[in-house]
Amino acid sequence: MAWMRVARFAAALTLGVGAAAGAGWAGAAKMDSGRPIVIAHRGASAERPEHTLAAYERAIERGADFIEPDLVSTKDGVLVARHENEIGGTTDVATRPEFADRRTTKRIDGREVTGWFTEDFTLAELKTLRARERLPMVRPANVAFDGRYAVPTLEDIIQLARRKEAETGRSIGLYIETKHPSYFQNIGLPLEPELLRVLTAHGYEGPQAPVFLQSFEVANLKALRAQTRLPLVQLMEANGAPYDRVLAGETVRYADMATPEGLALIATYADAIGIQKEMLVPRTPENDIAEPTTLVRDAHAAGLGVHVWTFRSENLFLPRRWQVSAGAGGGTTVLPAGRGQAEAELELFLELGVDGVFADDPAVAVPVRDRLLQTKMQSAAKK
């Protein structure tokens, strides 16, 4: 089953670089992993501006199993890491007078977006820009790092991962998202051919490679399935639909894809699903948690792993019950940027049997995962 292959891959990561690379599925299959993976969402973005080499390196230091680059294209076809191709909020481009005339409005996945776009810059031009914190009001400490870091290429990220593998003796996985694939395909800058070219050039091939490829769209994952054996992940959110299916005039929504019938179809081309938290544990109108759905059970029954996004430590992102109040005598003021009880939320989802978590703060997620695993091992040893 596909989800068993994902679990075996996670087990291979625990063996270290040499073992994971050499043992392959035969060695990993002998281990009953039960070890959910921690995916550093855009790097350790709770501690450094997202999608910078500093954020990825910090995540590795914090023990993340995977670092997650979102990839878009430059004008000259180079893959770089940005959450969106619009970079007005994540770089200093708006302060650069030489690029003032690049500001424009485009239609991206059905909505009008105004700003500066990576596909209008060559790599050389983009490399003159410097990254900025995307959420300065929520993560004010990260503002201190504004202006320090360049926009990294996929090549830069791979070089970092290889260097850290040599330093740490453990495998550093890449969990790569292709952003707006239909859009880039339609403007003549398809992401997938260059992605596979770079990965193949660096030896990332086959189901044992420490790589996942993810997308919110469907057609590009199906095309990738015909070209690579790397594990593929169908991303889904609580609302909306894959934009390539919208372009094709179809009415299928992510909610339809999360049914047992939809999951069976996903299993024909993907190895796992990457789901928004609310698809597994819904939120009430009062921002509390509701009863969990059966999505983990249903996905596993279809042969799919389940990875959940995104776990963040700040009150702004947490259910009310895990927000922490501030003020004298335990007042009732909840500061959005204050840290809440993120550990409790992670524990809930891990106990529900998910196979991986996307976390902005691996420094929180890794210890929670490891503590739960240790507890389970101790309980098993007493039986």
Catalytic residue among 83, 180, 300, 307: 83
- Given the DSSP bridges, would you call strands 104-108 and 111-115 parallel, antiparallel or unpaired? antiparallel
Q: Is 83 a catalytic residue?
A: yes
Take residue 102 and report the two structure tokens written for it: 């690049």
Report the distance separating Cα 4 and Cα 27, nearest Å: 14
Token pair, residue 297, equals 């059970």
Q: What is the 3-state secondary structure (H, E, C) of 283-332?
A: ECCCCCECCCCCHHHHHHHCCCEEEEEEECCEHHHCCHHHCCEECCCCCC
Q: Largest Cα–Cα distance in the chain?
A: 69
- Spatial CA neighbour of 13 closest among 334, 382, 366: 366
- Phi-psi region for residue 85, left (φ > 0), alpha (ψ -120 to 50) or beta? alpha
Contact 305, 273 (CB under 8 A): yes
Catalytic residue among 41, 180, 300, 307: 41
Residue 376 contacts residue 34 (beta carbons within 8 Å) = yes
The CB density around residue 184, as the number of other CB atoms within 10 Å, is 22
Look up 51 and say whether it is catalytic: no
Residues with active-site annotation: 41, 83
